[in-house]
Amino acid sequence: MMPAETGDIAAYDLGNLTIVRYPHPMLKKICAPVERFEPALERLAARLLELMKGQNGVGLAAPQVGIPIRMFVCNVTGEEGDDCICINPSFVELSGAEVHEEGCLSLPQVNVSMRRAAHAVAEMQDVEGNRHRRSATNLLARVWQHENDHLDGRLIIDNMSTADEIANRRVLKQLRADAAGAG
């Protein structure tokens, strides 16, 4: 059983975490800030990276595995040294604009054209609670914004154009049917 309303990481069986799919209610939750920087946080980060890489993703947020805390991981290059763990992120600057198609591990086979800032500066903490200010451009900036949306309970489908709605209608209907059948 998952303690769905708590950010107490020690209460979760990290080895059995899986990526939740739309329309799971956790995906619409606004997540709580991380306040306790304990060893379990580092283990959660490692598990998020493992799940993300196992699905060939470039980012994964804690609510996507059912944990409502402000944390995400990402790696846009696939190189081991480029893993990024972002805890309690907040943007201090977003500039420029690009429109690109985005997907989401919680919305398999759904693609939506999203307008995002091309450059981002964010403040965040690491697993030890140390504060950092980092900047990103292009794909990394896009991933930060996408994953941060998850922390605020927003999904790419919340911003679909009419064309995106039509293109993804069947897949979304199937995801809702699959969830209803599993429940």
Cα–Cα distance between 24 and 7 in angstroms, integer? 17
Residue 2 confidence class, pLDDT cut points 50, 70, 90: very low
How far CA 93 is from CA of 5, 27, 96, 117, in Å, comes to 31, 25, 10, 9
Please say whether the beta carbons of 125 and 88 come within 8 A: yes
Give the residue-averaged pLDDT of 48-56: 97
Residue 183 has pLDDT above 90, yes or no: no
Domain 9-182, architecture per CATH = Alpha-Beta Complex (3.90)
Q: What angle do CA 144, 145, 146 make, to 5 degrees?
A: 95
* Selection from 26, 47, 29, 34 nearest residue 8 by Cα: 34
**Peptide bond before 108: cis, by omega within 30 degrees of 0?**
no
Please report the beta strands in 19-172, taking only residues with DSSP state E, as ranges in sequence order.
59-61, 71-74, 84-95, 98-104, 107-116, 119-125, 131-137
Reported residue count of the chain is 183
* Selection from 112, 134, 110, 115 nearest residue 123 by Cα: 134
Question: What does the pLDDT read at residue 137?
Answer: 98
Could you tell me the residue ranges of all domains in the chain? 9-182
Side chain identity at 98, as an amino acid letter? E
Cα–Cα distance between 133 and 86 in angstroms, integer? 11
Cα–Cα distance between 29 and 2 in angstroms, integer? 15
Please say whether the beta carbons of 183 and 110 come within 8 A: no
Residue 7 has pLDDT above 80, yes or no: no
Give the residue-averaged pLDDT of 58-80: 97
Residue 3 has pLDDT above 60, yes or no: no
CA atoms lying within 13 Å on the CB side of residue 147: 32
Characterize the bridge pairing of strands 131-137 and 98-104: unpaired
The 10s digit of each residue's pLDDT in 10-41 is: 889 999 999 999 999 999 999 999 999 999 99
Question: What does the pLDDT read at residue 10?
Answer: 84
Give the residue-averaged pLDDT of 102-121: 98
Q: Active-site residue numbers? A: 147
